[in-house]
Amino acid sequence: MKVLSIGELLMRMTVPDNKRFTQAEQFAMHVGGSEANVAIALSQLGWGARMLSALPDNDLGNHICNVLRHFGVDTSEVARIGSRIGLYFLEEGDAIRSSRIIYDRAHSSINDFEVSAVDWDKALEGVTHVHWSAITPALSKNAAELCQYAVDKANDKGITVSCDLHYRKNLWAYGKEPRDVIPQLLEKSSIVLGDPSTIQALTGLQMNSKELETIENAQQLADDYRTLMAHFPKMECVSMLLRTIHNANHHDLKSVMVTKGDVYNTKSIELHNIIDRIGGGDAYMAGLLYGLSHYENKLQGLEFALTLSALKHTIRGDYFTGKLEEVEQVMNTAQLGKIIR
């Protein structure tokens, strides 16, 4: 299996030691970006992975490419253009205090990246999966066109398309509304991750389950998800990571999935003393792609995705680092957290 992941490469600047922005004297730097996080995770699980993006041709751009290559991600389709790397600043929460993020992404290199600059046959060579998230088409007209062309070409070549439906209202600033752009991309996407409120905001389709105070199982989502699949017949499944937040450091995770014929619910995993929840959804997306491709039993595939996400919460930085065997061991063991000697 080989994934082509499309999206903006970012630098994350984190205030150390759980300090607040107003206390910051220095920042810890991490490489990130939703789509890159998916590619990095899948590469460590044994897939081929390639990134389609753009960075300035300077030492900071070189650093990001070096990090991707360190984890086995092919950067040959990362164009070296423009002059800015997108940034985001993170203040990590603790106990009852929530985490906060400030974005600084305007005029970054990916917004200068045009469809005509890509050799699409080369970019898609050997690729079995194309992955996009709804963050990318929110950035600019060029980024939206890049996503659409990639999805169209993938469909022409019989390549599976997956998407993670994020909604970042403040990013949609180039004159288009999400409903002008996202539905055309979903028409050719088969594996979808998204919650009811986000789906309604991006597509305009009424999702009645967004009014529920809590969502406990896939049965509560089945009617809405099947409405989505009926509207976009290419879709094979819609999934969601369910998160119960007790405080900033203590969450319960479980996952659900709806197909045209079945619903799936995993067990719950309780996470105390979370190290870093950023990228937990991206790890889940990577785990879902891997799980659905490598397990005949869809519930097992869903449990793999949940386990990968839970492990990411124990790892500092934007992306999962580890081995396939580690995920499978945690997935199949009854006693978690033992020392491995």
Q: What are the pLDDT digits (tens) for 33-65?
A: 999 999 999 999 999 999 999 999 999 999 999
CB 95 within 8 A of CB 36: no
Domains of the chain with CATH codes: 2-327 (3.40.1190.20)
Residue 313 zone, left/alpha/beta (φ > 0; ψ -120 to 50; rest):
alpha
Structure tokens at 102: 């400030």
Nearest Cα to Cα of residue 262 among 229, 287, 233: 229
- Please check whether residue 243 is in contact with residue 253, taking contact to mean a CB–CB distance below 8 angstroms: yes
Residue 265 has pLDDT above 50, yes or no: yes
Other CB atoms within 10 A of residue 261 CB: 6
Contact (Cβ atoms closer than 8 angstroms) between residue 12 and residue 278: yes
Q: What does pTM read for this prediction?
A: 0.95
Q: Report, in this order, helix, strand and coil percent for the chain, each rounded to 5.
A: 40, 25, 35
The predicted pLDDT at position 333 comes to 77
Q: Which amino acid is at 199?
A: I
Token code pair at residue 90: 């993170």
> In this structure, what are the phi and psi dihedrals at residue 74, rounded to the nearest 5 degrees?
-75, 120
Q: What is the mean pLDDT of residues 16-22?
A: 93
- The answer to whether residues 96 and 248 touch, using CB atoms and an 8 Å cutoff, is yes
Judged on CB neighbours under 10 Å (0-12, 13-18, 19+), 341 is exposed
* Rg of the chain over all Cα atoms, to the nearest angstrom: 19
Q: Is the pLDDT of residue 341 over 50?
A: no
Distance CA 14, CA 101 (A): 9
